[in-house]
Amino acid sequence: MKVLVVGGGGREHAICTQVSKSKRVDKLYCAPGNAGIAKVAECVDIGAMDFDRLVDFAVSVPVDLCIIGMDDPLVGGLADRMAEAGIRTFGPKAKAAILEGSKAFSKDLMKKYDIPTAAYENFDSYEEAVEYIKKSKMPIVLKADGLALGKGVLICNTLEEALEGAKEIMLDQKFGSAGNRMVVEEFMTGREVSVLSFVDGKTIKIMTSAQDHKRALDGDKGLNTGGMGTFSPSPFYTAEVDEFCKKYIYQRTVDAMREEGREFKGVIFFGLMITENGPRVLEYNARFGDPEAQVVLPRLKNDIIDVMEACVDGTLDKIDLEFEDNAAVCVVLASEGYPVAYEKGKKITGLENFDGKDDYFCFHAGTKLVGDDIVTNGGRVLGITAKGADLKEARANAYKATEWVDFEGKYMRHDIGKAIDEA
Ligand code: AMP
Ligand code: GLY
């Protein structure tokens, strides 16, 4: 069969790597892809938001399955457009992707269906938000309603910070129209865990757990980023936590979406916080996490196409989802200065060191082929991933492999997975 993956980051490289292993796939395309993806797929120079051209391309091939990796095209309705054109598509339609596309929607859904999350209020009016904030306990969390590249969340320690934050989001529109509405939420503390799942509208199958490191600098200092590294599984995702989430969170979310007439097919990513009072949902995403996919997918034992088709066909109950009994760690190599200002176009050397090594992966996030050279083309450049018998071994392997590649301004965190020492 012929498959098209939409996206061009480390997550899509991990998806393409898994798809290319499927015996059922004889042709894999990726739009727009990147220099690493080009090793396992034919890259097509069409942007992920160029729906007309993506649909034309999918129909002209024609592809048997389209896999949408990124949030923007999902929330914007690419799955709907593909379906209208008769292309089988893995990923939720816009009506369901709103689970990620609107934080106010997801909070209201959780409240209505009694899914554990932080207490909150939604505001369309800046003045009303300010009145509420003045009466609230600090710290408090402010969230722009819409998609904001994972940056639309402000944790405010003082009333002054909260008032400034509300102004930035709602009046100054720092995150654009995402800030037309704002969620004001209770501040929670605890460990964060990312749980990805496959969903076919009614059945949900949970993947192995992972943990992301969102801050730019060691010790969780510095600015929020798209993610500087991950490990999987999370030792903090215990059998007890799993049992709680199965009872109160996972199936309830899938059923709630169906009840609302927003049947969800694809990946639901549960961003959880394990608080003193039990797990709470911090956020939902409607896609694989990045860089969570880079540590979860390499451990998947099933043929990913079988699982994705079961999601599309509503037969996920027939699938026995299996993961290897090992661990993986991903360390992101970023460009010096990320997430603020950084240079691009630096030549990357040593990539060939990953050739032929089954337990090591060099997932490309921001790279580009220029002549014969692969050069940096983004803030997050590579996701160096390694497996190991356990987390400690996987971490040692991943850090060893970070030395195999080099580019000017190469920057990484040195404490990815350090938390496992406390487990
Ligand atoms: P979100 O995009 O909603 O996951 O928020 C981004 C990050 O902000 C999360 O990964 C948490 O670290 C933090 N965060 C979000 N909501 C809360 C909350 N209610 N309490 C504490 N931290 C939060
Ligand atoms: N790593 C967090 C996300 O993909 O949203």
Identity of the amino acid at 34: N
Given a cut of 80, is residue 238 above it in pLDDT? yes
Residue nearest to atom 4 of ligand 2 (CA): 289
- Write the CA distances from 422 to 90, 232, 292, 419, integer angstroms: 38, 15, 21, 5
Given a cut of 80, is residue 422 above it in pLDDT? no
Residue nearest to atom 2 of ligand 1 (CA): 150
Given a cut of 90, is residue 7 above it in pLDDT? yes
The answer to whether the bond into 92 is cis (omega within 30° of 0) is no
pLDDT over 90, % of the chain: 93
> What pLDDT score was predicted for residue 45?
97
> What pLDDT score was predicted for residue 418?
87
Instruction: Give dist(CA 400, CA 380) in Å, integer.
Output: 19
Ligand 2 pocket: which of 215, 269, 294 to mutate (most atoms within 8 A of CB): 269
191-318 fold: D-amino Acid Aminotransferase; Chain A, domain 1 (3.30.470)
Tens of pLDDT, residue by residue over 164-175, are: 999 999 999 988
CATH number of 125-180: 3.30.1490.20
Contact (CB, 8 A) for 154 and 175: no
Instruction: Give dist(CA 11, CA 405) in Å, integer.
Output: 19
Segment holding 393, helix H or strand E: helix 391-402
For residue 285, the ligand 2 atom closest to its alpha carbon is 5
CA of 272 to the centre of ligand 1 (A): 9
Average pLDDT over residues 272-300: 97
Contact (CB, 8 A) for 140 and 133: yes
Instruction: Provide the residue ranges of all domains of the chain, joining segments of one domain with +.
Output: 2-91, 125-180, 191-318, 327-422
> What pLDDT score was predicted for residue 110?
97
pLDDT over 70, % of the chain: 100
Contact (CB, 8 A) for 395 and 420: yes
CA of 316 to the centre of ligand 1 (A): 30
Average pLDDT over residues 373-395: 97
**Between 10-20 and 304-313, two packed helices, what is the crossing angle to 10 degrees?**
100
Given a cut of 80, is residue 278 above it in pLDDT? yes
CA of 35 to the centre of ligand 1 (A): 33
Ligand 1 pocket: which of 273, 274, 276 to mutate (most atoms within 8 A of CB): 273
The secondary structure of 140-160 as a DSSP string is EEEEESS--TT--EEEESSHH
The answer to whether the bond into 62 is cis (omega within 30° of 0) is yes
Q: Is the CB of 91 under 6 A from ligand 2?
A: no
> What pLDDT score was predicted for residue 149?
73
Average pLDDT over residues 228-249: 97
State in words which class domain 327-422 has: alpha beta
Q: Is the CB of 289 under 6 A from ligand 2?
A: yes
> What pLDDT score was predicted for residue 157?
95
Residues with CB under 6 A from ligand 1: 118, 141, 143, 150, 153, 155, 185-188, 192, 214, 271, 282-283
For residue 150, the ligand 2 atom closest to its alpha carbon is 5
Closest ligand by atom to 147 CA: 1
Residue nearest to atom 12 of ligand 1 (CA): 192
> What pLDDT score was predicted for residue 151?
75
> What pLDDT score was predicted for residue 204?
98
> What pLDDT score was predicted for residue 300?
98
> What pLDDT score was predicted for residue 421?
81
Given a cut of 80, is residue 137 above it in pLDDT? yes
CA of 45 to the centre of ligand 1 (A): 35
For residue 11, the ligand 2 atom closest to its alpha carbon is 4
Residue nearest to atom 3 of ligand 2 (CA): 289
Closest ligand by atom to 282 CA: 1
Given a cut of 80, is residue 112 above it in pLDDT? yes
> What pLDDT score was predicted for residue 383?
98
Average pLDDT over residues 3-21: 98
Contact (CB, 8 A) for 232 and 295: yes
CA of 409 to the centre of ligand 2 (A): 24
Residue nearest to atom 2 of ligand 2 (CA): 289
Tens of pLDDT, residue by residue over 397-413, are: 999 999 999 999 999 99
Query: Predicted confidence band at 120 (pLDDT cuts at 50, 70, 90)?
Result: very high
> What pLDDT score was predicted for residue 292?
98
> What pLDDT score was predicted for residue 419?
82
* Coil/strand/helix, residue 90: strand
> What pLDDT score was predicted for residue 180?
87
Query: Predicted confidence band at 254 (pLDDT cuts at 50, 70, 90)?
Result: very high
CATH number of 2-91: 3.40.50.20
CA of 253 to the centre of ligand 1 (A): 19
Handedness of CA 297, 299, 304, 310 (dihedral sign): negative
Given a cut of 90, is residue 176 above it in pLDDT? no
Count, residues in the chain: 423
